[in-house]
Amino acid sequence: MQLDELDDLYREVILDHYRRSRNPQHLADAEVQADGNNPFCGDEVALQVKLNGRGVIQAMGRQGKGCAISQASASMLTEVLQGKTLQEAERLGRAFRRMMQGEPLQAQEREALGPLEALEGVRKFPIRIKCALLAWSILEEGVESYRRRQG
Ligand code: ZN
Q: Exposed, middle or buried: residue 83 (CB in 10 Å: 0-12, 13-18, 19+)?
A: exposed
Please tell me the distance between residue 74's alpha carbon and the centre of ligand 1 in angstroms. Answer: 11
Averaged pLDDT, 57-80 = 97
Question: Is the CB of residue 37 less than 8 Å from the CB of residue 129?
Answer: no
Please tell me the distance between residue 148's alpha carbon and the centre of ligand 1 in angstroms. Answer: 30
pLDDT digits (tens, 9 = 90+) for 78-97: 999 999 999 999 999 999 99
Supply the pTM of this predicted model. Answer: 0.94
Distance (Å, whole) CA 48 – CA 82: 12
Please tell me the distance between residue 133's alpha carbon and the centre of ligand 1 in angstroms. Answer: 10
Residues with CB under 5 A from ligand 1 (ion): 41, 43, 67, 70, 131
Is the confidence at residue 50, as pLDDT, over 90?
A: yes
Average pLDDT, the chain: 94
Please tell me the distance between residue 125's alpha carbon and the centre of ligand 1 in angstroms. Answer: 11
Distance (Å, whole) CA 117 – CA 113: 6
Please tell me the distance between residue 150's alpha carbon and the centre of ligand 1 in angstroms. Answer: 33
Just give the CATH number of 3-145.
3.90.1010.10
